[in-house]
Amino acid sequence: MPESKLLPLPEAIERFIPDGSAIALGLAQETLIPFAAGHELIRQKKQRLTLIGPISDILFDQIIGAGCVRKISAAWVGNVITGSSYNFRRAVEGGSLEMEDHSNLTLAMALRAGAMGVPFMPARSALGSDLFKTNSSLKTMTCPFSGETLTAVAALRPDVSIVHLQRADEYGNAHAWGNLGLIRDACLASRRIIITAEEIVDPDIISRDPNRVVTPGYRVSAVAHAPWGGHPSPAPGYYNRDHQGFLDYRNESKTPRAYDDWQKRWVQSIQNWRDYTKLLGAQRMAELAIKHHDYSEPVDYGY
Amino acid sequence: MSYTLPELMVTAAAREIADGEVVFVGMRLPLLGFLLAKSTHAPEAVGIYELGIVRDTLAPAPILTMGDLPNLYRARWLADTADTMGLLQQGQVDVSFIGGAQIDRFGNLNTSYIGGVEKIATRLPGSGGACDLASLAQRHIIIMNHERRRFVPQVDYMTSPGFGDGAGWRREVGLPRGGPAAVITTLGILRFDAQSREMMLVSLHPGVRVDDVLNHTGWPLEIADELAQTPQPTEEELGMLRRFDPQGYWTGAKPSGL
């Protein structure tokens, strides 16, 4: 049997994410955002990180506020249902954060180029826009076949992708379902992969449905069990989006002082997922639970 | 039946969708605009969401954002972002919807840097998919607040291209198609002159005067010869909207979303 990759979340982050790492996370955009893993980066006081992601929906803001981040490579950094995010604003306006402005399409192509092992991918988006001024990985090029002007998007190779998903086995084989965003391209493009999962399951459960596997398990560095590890973002099949969590964070991040209080309560007072779910409380978890189950039919992979 | 300003704007947005069209649905008010169109005059419209969602039925419960699980429930396709962006890039999206913080006379949008890059006054969230939706859809619709500080002669930073500096610009820079078709604001509806590509006021919301619009626009705005009044939402439309947004989060009298 291969060696188990199952680690407690703190150990997974400690072993595979040194200071200065370029980390892709929040890859499904609004769903399955790896909040538990992001909070562990804060607890371990990581330094000089580069965060890569499409729409981070407050996780980037939380990690920026903790002083862990040197550079952002993203399409959108904010709070999806309230607008701006304040630590991000303060850091960019204060000049302490380097910004590489992508669109969702150009970031997807940057990771796809990394996934394909080519130096760039061509695209038709963003031509004429100012994204070229604030992202040196975008250049215009002439198509060698048609002579058309195209956008060349340089390949991105993150040091590590952190992916939160529904279920994994201890060897790194894992299922995700729902919208997948940039998860698959980012995993292929990354040198290492850390998976956090709602459930750790028997390897048979994963291998009997290989179409649902997000990336080959042999490339995964670590698997951590993290129930409610995507909260307040939704996890299909497990819990709904906690809108109140996002609304609260708007006020909890408005000033550096408010953010410090937020961090004490939601990050520093917590050691593991048991602490987190205790703080969340049974009533809130019951409210967020899936109420209308809708199971798919099994399919036959036999021969 | 009385209605709120966001309800009027969402209704106007919904009417921009023709039946059977493929719609790339943006964040916030457009989410409701698509649902409203689907449930009234455009039952055959197909919605694409950048998270990797394609659906052609109404979500079975209210949603605040496209990643809410009812919006994934029995979707026609759950896929990768690149898949949805591929359909957009091929030219298979008829219409897309985006919001803006700052806009200029040619419909270019800034959602990134107020004050520009050299001297950043305010950092906004950025493009998300907006630059792609503005670059690659057959046409796009912009929804935003109409204020003088937002309607400026030239944007400080162009996040999402409109018509650049006027006629012919999109072709010159290599954009394959498209351009803004309408700007739905808190005061009226604006479209773009077919020759000059400059923004033009074509419709006033009920109770709004031309002077109100001019006073809130930072350049001498063109006015269409025949100025319409934006149609008020019907009872059917309002009933639908209140079903989709029962708490009035996006469409209440003091919406959180504008």
3-state SS, B210-248, equals HHHHHHCCCCCCEEEEEEEECCCCCHHHHHHHHHHCCCC
Percent of chain A as helix, strand, coil, to the nearest 5? 35, 25, 40
Q: What is the ipTM of this complex?
A: 0.97
B12-17 long-range contacts (CB < 8 A, ≥24 apart) are B12/B184, B12/B189, B12/B230, B12/B231, B13/B97, B13/B141, B13/B143, B13/B184, B14/B40, B14/B41, B14/B42, B14/B237, B15/B41, B15/B231, B16/B95, B16/B141, B16/B181, B16/B182, B16/B184, B17/B42, B17/B45, B17/B95
Within an 8 Å CB–CB cutoff, is residue B49 touching chain A? yes
Question: Chain A contacts of B124, Cβ < 8 Å?
Answer: 78, 84
Within an 8 Å CB–CB cutoff, is residue B145 touching chain A? no
Q: What is the mean pLDDT of residues B74-90?
A: 98
pLDDT tens profile A93-112: 999 999 999 999 999 999 99
Per-residue pLDDT at B257: 43
CB contact under 8 A, A108 and B169: no
Per-residue pLDDT at B1: 78
Burial of B2 (0-12, 13-18, 19+ CB in 10 A): exposed
DSSP A223: E
Q: How far apart are CA A229 and CA A37, in angstroms?
A: 7
Burial of B101 (0-12, 13-18, 19+ CB in 10 A): buried
Q: How far apart are CA B24 and CA B39, in angstroms?
A: 17
Q: What is the mean pLDDT of residues A184-193?
A: 98
Per-residue pLDDT at A206: 98
Q: Which amino acid is at A110?
A: A
Question: Chain A contacts of B60, Cβ < 8 Å?
Answer: 292
Identity of the residue in B68, B113, B124 whose CB atom sits nearest the CB atom of A241 = B68
pLDDT tens profile B199-218: 999 999 999 999 999 999 99
Q: What percentage of chain A exceeds 70 in pLDDT?
A: 100
Question: Chain A contacts of B65, Cβ < 8 Å?
Answer: 30, 80-81, 241
Which of A:49-108 have CB within 8 Å of B?
Answer: 54-55, 74-78, 80-85, 88-89, 92-93, 101-106, 108
Stated length of chain A: 303
pLDDT tens profile A119-138: 999 999 999 999 999 999 99
Q: How far apart are CA B249 and CA B216, in angstroms?
A: 26
Alpha-carbon distances of B68 from A76, A262, A298, B31, B65, rounded to whole Å: 18, 24, 25, 11, 6
Q: How far is B64 from chain A (nearest CA, A)?
A: 7
CA closest to A149 among chain B residues: B174
Within an 8 Å CB–CB cutoff, is residue A148 touching chain B? yes
From the list A97, A109, A43, the residue with the least C-alpha distance to A72 is: A97
Alpha-carbon distances of A7 from A130, A188, A197, rounded to whole Å: 43, 22, 12
Per-residue pLDDT at B65: 96
Q: Which amino acid is at A187?
A: C
pLDDT tens profile A248-283: 999 999 999 999 999 999 999 999 999 999 999 999
Per-residue pLDDT at B135: 98
pLDDT tens profile A23-35: 999 999 999 999 9
pTM comes to: 0.97
CB contact under 8 A, A234 and B173: no
Q: How far apart are CA B24 and CA A54, in angstroms?
A: 17
Instruction: Give me the total of CB pairs closer than 8 Å, taking one residue from chain A and one from chain B.
Output: 190
Q: How far is A230 from chain B (nearest CA, A)?
A: 13
CB contact under 8 A, B81 and A78: no
Q: How many C-alpha atoms does A295 have within 13 Å on its Cβ side?
A: 3
Contact A33, A27 (CB under 8 A): no
The mean pLDDT value of chain B amounts to 96
CB contact under 8 A, B173 and A127: yes
Per-residue pLDDT at B26: 87
| Tokens standing for residue B41 | 């005059």
CB contact under 8 A, B73 and A243: no
Within an 8 Å CB–CB cutoff, is residue B50 touching chain A? yes
Within an 8 Å CB–CB cutoff, is residue B157 touching chain A? yes
* Residue B258 binned pLDDT confidence (cut-offs 50, 70, 90): very low
Residue A79 pairs in a beta bridge with A83
Per-residue pLDDT at B254: 65
Which H/E stretch holds residue A257? helix A256-263
* Residue B28 binned pLDDT confidence (cut-offs 50, 70, 90): confident
* Residue B255 binned pLDDT confidence (cut-offs 50, 70, 90): low
Residue A232 pairs in a beta bridge with none
Question: Chain A contacts of B175, Cβ < 8 Å?
Answer: 124, 127-128
* Residue A239 binned pLDDT confidence (cut-offs 50, 70, 90): very high
CA closest to A178 among chain B residues: B78
Identity of the residue in B112, B130, B136 whose CB atom sits nearest the CB atom of A124 = B136
B15-B19-B20-B24 Cα dihedral, nearest 10 degrees: 10
CB contact under 8 A, A108 and B81: yes
Within an 8 Å CB–CB cutoff, is residue A150 touching chain B? yes
* Active centre residues of B (catalytic): 50
Lowest-confidence pick of A139-148, A232-241, B125-134, B248-257: B248-257
Within an 8 Å CB–CB cutoff, is residue A177 touching chain B? yes
